[in-house]
Amino acid sequence: MVPPRACAEPQTLMSRKQAARSRSGGPKKARRPRQAAGGAAAKPSEGGGGGLARQLRALGLKLREVPGDGNCLFRALGDQLEGHSRNHLRHRQETVEYMIKRREDFEPFVEDDVPFEKHVTNLAKPGTFAGNDAIVAFARNNQMNVVIHQLNAPLWQIQGTDKSDVRELHIAYRHGEHYDSVRRINDDSESPAYLRMEMLPKNESNKEEETKQQKDDSEDETEIEMEAAVQKVCSATGCSDIELVSQVLKTEDYNLESAIFAIFQVQEVKRISAEEQSDPQSNGQELCASALCEENGSGSGILGSQSLHRRETEDKLKGQARSDEESRANKNVKVFKKQKKEQQRLEKKKRQEERHRQKVLANRSNSADNSKKEVDSDNQITLVKTMAALNI
């Protein structure tokens, strides 16, 4: 078999001649399939608890070894996909059929100028080694990503689709000739494997710095939004007391409509209080005039007439003031009703948007569930932590 590094996306692959010129340092072509007993048994250095097995154990993973009968690649992929390797011949056949349909993507990478027809004919035979071109074809045909673990090397990820959050199949490449399946360390079931890479930051200090920067940016944005809210309330109410407006906004949880109405109420209370303070003075004047009239007796007709006229004038002014007050009160009630109606409309719109969002999320969840094959409810996704990964 050929190491996974030999394969790349067709769009970036070189022609047969270009590959021959750069064979010493560039990507290699897919090696011609060979009839062999391939996939030798594990070497002592990596068998048991050593080598790659030790490396995987540190991640909470282990090797599930498959027979080294030349079908190891399709057996390992089948174990990941279905929980067992019994369908390796079907996976091989489907992979070869996909390569024939997409001949233009794979033909430039057949090694030693072997005719493409002969290459795929050999690859279709059971027990024939399969290499990089077969992994790419399998990943694309199943619309999944294949992640390859190697000893003391970054993970290799062969992307079978541009979609995000797709299923990953994790296999191990050992001794330059054999593939095994990778499982959770306590997974001895015949259920599909669900592993997914989780990229880690190179150092925690960078992560802390990013978090601090995000926090500072968030605080700046919040302060700007608060200042804008204060200006909007001041403009709508004509109130110039910024401290009062800020306090009311905080009390109303920064709801603009509620804050504006509260400011109107405060202004109305201040106006009524001011009028009530001015009423005792006019009442005192009226009492003085009445007392003067009584003191002068019936002979004080002029004073009595003036007092009566003044009283009538004051009554008219009070009546007009009450009329103006009622008019303003009615106007405030109308404004409040309008604001309340608008607030109810906005709340209804938010509820509709939330219902729509929940519906979309539910549809996406159902779609993702339907795309999985034989999902085991007890087999949750396990994150495979890694510092680096190379995408092919």
Catalytic residues: 69, 72, 178
Which residues fall within 8 angstroms of residue 276, CB to CB, at 6 or more apart?
none
Q: Are strands 61-64 and 145-149 parallel, antiparallel or unpaired?
A: unpaired
* 184 contacts 60 by C-beta, under 8 angstroms: yes
Task: Return the HEC string of the chain.
Answer: CCCHHHCCCHHHCCCHHHHHHCCCCCCCCECCCCECCCCCCCCCCCCCCCHHHHHHHCCCEEEECCCCCCCHHHHHHHHHHHCCCCCHHHHHHHHHHHHHHCHHHHHHHEHHHCCHHHHHHHHCCCCECCCHHHHHHHHHHHCCEEEEECCCCCEEEEECCCCCCCCEEEEEEECCCEEEEEEECCCCCCCCCCEEEEECCCCHHHHHHHHHHHHHHHHHHHHHHHHHHHHHHHHHHCCCCHHHHHHHHHHCCCCHHHHHHHHHHHHHHHHHHHHHHHHHHHHHHHHHHHHHHHHHHHHCHHHHHHHHHHHHHHHHHHHHHHHHHHHHHHHHHHHHHHHHHHHHHHHHHHHHHHHHHHHHHHHHHHHHHHHCCCCCCCCCCEEEEECCEEEC
Q: How would you classify residue 20: left for phi > 0, otherwise alpha for psi between -120 and 50, otherwise beta? A: alpha
**Phi, psi dihedrals of residue 169, rounded to the nearest 5°:** -110, 125
